[in-house]
Amino acid sequence: MNKTISTKDTVIIGLMLFALFFGAGNLVFPVMLGQSAGTEVWLANLGFLLTGVGLPLLGVIAFSFSGKPDLLSLTQRVHPLFALVFTTTLYLTIGPLFAMPRTGSVSYEIGIKPYISDQSSAAALLIFTVLFFGLTCFLSLNPSKMIDIVGKLLTPLLIAFIAILSAVALLYPLGMPQAAQGEYVTDALFIGFQEGYLTMDALAAFVFGIIVINAIKDKGAHSKKHLLLTGVKSALLAAAVLAVIYSALAYIGAASVEQFGYLSNGGEALALISQHYFGVYGGVFLGIIVLLACLTTSIGLTTACSSYLHKLMPRVSYKSYAVLLSIVSALLANVGLNELIQISVPVLTTIYPLAIVLMFLTFVHPLFKGKKQVYWFSLSLTFLVSLIEGLSASRLKIASIHELYIDILPLYDVGLGWIIPAAIGAMLGLIWPSTKRPTQI
Do residues 316 and 242 share a domain? yes
What are phi and psi for residue 426, nearest 5 degrees?
-65, -40
Average pLDDT over residues 281-290: 89
Do residues 258 and 389 share a domain? no
Do residues 291 and 372 share a domain? no
Q: What is the distance between the alpha carbons of residues 99 and 90, in angstroms, rounded to a whole number? A: 11
**Domain count of the chain?**
2
Dump pLDDT digits (tens) for 74-92.
Answer: 999 999 999 999 999 999 9
Q: Is residue 137 part of a domain?
A: yes
Angle at the Cα of 309 (from 239 to 66), degrees rounded to 5? 45
Q: What is the distance between the alpha carbons of residues 64 and 318, in angstroms, rounded to a whole number? A: 24
Dump pLDDT digits (tens) for 399-428.
Answer: 889 899 999 999 888 888 999 999 999 999
Do residues 283 and 164 share a domain? yes
For residue 436, is pLDDT > 70?
no
Q: Among 25-34, 286-295, 332-341, 343-352, whose mean pLDDT is lowest?
A: 332-341
Angle at the Cα of 169 (from 198 to 234), degrees rounded to 5? 50
**So what's the pLDDT on residue 437?**
54
Q: Which of 3-7, 319-323, 330-334 has the highest mean pLDDT?
A: 319-323
Q: Is residue 371 part of a domain?
A: yes
Question: Taking all residues of the chain, what is their mean pLDDT, rounded to a whole number?
Answer: 90
Q: Which amino acid is at 322?
A: A
**So what's the pLDDT on residue 337?**
65
Q: Is residue 374 part of a domain?
A: yes
For residue 1, is pLDDT > 70?
no
Average pLDDT over residues 231-260: 95
Q: What is the distance between the alpha carbons of residues 410 and 216, in angstroms, rounded to a whole number? A: 41
Instruction: Kindly write down the DSSP assignment for every residue of 330-350, as one continuous string.
Output: HHHHHSSHHHHHHHHHHHHHH
Number of H helices, E strands in the chain: 20, 0
**So what's the pLDDT on residue 171?**
92
Do residues 314 and 380 share a domain? no
Give residue 39's pLDDT band: very low, low, confident or very high (50, 70, 90): very high
For residue 439, is pLDDT > 60?
no
Q: Is residue 358 part of a domain?
A: no
Give residue 111's pLDDT band: very low, low, confident or very high (50, 70, 90): confident
3-state class (DSSP) for residue 416 = coil
Instruction: Give the end of a domain, one of 297, 318, 337.
Output: 337
Q: Is residue 222 part of a domain?
A: yes
Give residue 430's pLDDT band: very low, low, confident or very high (50, 70, 90): very high
Do residues 45 and 165 share a domain? yes
Handedness of CA 50, 55, 60, 65 (dihedral sign): positive
**So what's the pLDDT on residue 42?**
97
Dump pLDDT digits (tens) for 156-201.
Answer: 999 999 999 999 999 999 999 999 999 999 999 999 998 998 787 8
Average pLDDT over residues 344-365: 92
Q: What is the CATH number of the domain that holds 24?
A: 1.20.1740.10
Q: Which of 108-122, 269-283, 355-369 has the highest mean pLDDT?
A: 355-369
Dump pLDDT digits (tens) for 122-135.
Answer: 899 999 999 999 99
Do residues 71 and 31 share a domain? yes
Do residues 228 and 288 share a domain? yes
Give residue 248's pLDDT band: very low, low, confident or very high (50, 70, 90): very high
What letter would DSSP give residue 395? T
For residue 435, is pLDDT > 70?
no
Alpha helices in 261-317 (DSSP H): 266-278, 282-312
Instruction: Kindly write down the DSSP assignment for every residue of 52-117, as one continuous string.
Output: HTHHHHHHHHHHHHHT-SSHHHHHTTT-HHHHHHHHHHHHHHHTTTTHHHHHHHHHHHHHTGGGS-
Give residue 373's pLDDT band: very low, low, confident or very high (50, 70, 90): very high
Q: Are 2 and 276 in contact (CB under 8 A)?
A: no
Instruction: Give the end of a domain, one of 283, 318, 337.
Output: 337
Could you tell me the pTM of the whole model? Answer: 0.89
Q: Which CB contacts under 8 angstroms, 24+ apart, belong to 269-273? A: 269/28, 269/31, 269/32, 269/35, 270/27, 270/28, 270/31, 270/110, 271/110, 271/114, 273/31, 273/165, 273/169, 273/174
Q: Is residue 346 part of a domain?
A: no
**So what's the pLDDT on residue 415?**
84
**So what's the pLDDT on residue 193?**
92
Do residues 151 and 246 share a domain? yes
Q: Is residue 236 part of a domain?
A: yes
Do residues 375 and 282 share a domain? no
Instruction: Give the end of a domain, one of 337, 355, 384.
Output: 337
Q: Is residue 357 part of a domain?
A: no
What are phi and psi for residue 98, nearest 5 degrees?
-155, -70
3-state class (DSSP) for residue 437 = coil
Average pLDDT over residues 10-20: 93
For residue 384, is pLDDT > 90?
yes
Q: Are 359 and 202 in contact (CB under 8 A)?
A: yes
Do residues 28 and 170 share a domain? yes
**So what's the pLDDT on residue 336?**
60
Helix 266-278 vs helix 99-111: crossing angle, to nearest 10: 40
Do residues 101 and 247 share a domain? yes
User: What is the span of the domain harbouring residue 18?
Assistant: 7-337
Q: Are 101 and 298 in contact (CB under 8 A)?
A: no
